Amino acid sequence: MSMPTSDEEWRRRLSPERYAILRQAGTETPFSGAYTDTEDDGIYRCGGCGAEVFDSSTKYHSGCGWPSFTDAVSPDAVTLQEDNALGMNRTEVRCAKCDSHLGHVFEDGPAEAGGQRWCINSASLDLEER
């Protein structure tokens, strides 16, 4: 499957919810996502292009309402950008392959796992079970 090259192609390929999150940096309602509480073993892929972005071995229950991870599957899988929208200073997480919005990373994660909480929208992911 080829990568969409226009906004129109993205709209055709993605559901309205996925389009709003992946292409417009939206956020799903807390505790509503399919992967918030799942403990299934596998690789989480970008819902826009299928690139590997997170591994279930780094997923944990943070209680924030979105799937939380301690790190990305690799440093090259994602890009980080400063996000000052909505009057907040956050770090946005985007897919390195297709530039889709995945969520945000915060510095309040488990200390024993590096201290980061990668707070990711379920609708931005597809779980490929092992």
Residues sharing a CB contact under 8 Å with residue 88, sequence separation 6 or more, in sequence order: none
CA 117 to CA 110: how far, in whole Å?
A: 7
Retrieve residue 57's tokens. Answer: 């071995």
Catalytic (active site) residue 119: yes
SS (H, E, C) 7-44: HHHHHHHCCHHHHHHHHCCCCCCCCCCCCCCCCCCEEE
Angle formed at CA 33 by CA 30 and CA 39, multiple of 5 degrees: 115
Rounded Cα gap, residues 24 and 44, in angstroms: 20
Considering the candidates 46, 49, 95, 119, report the single residue annotated as catalytic.
119
The catalytic residue positions are 119
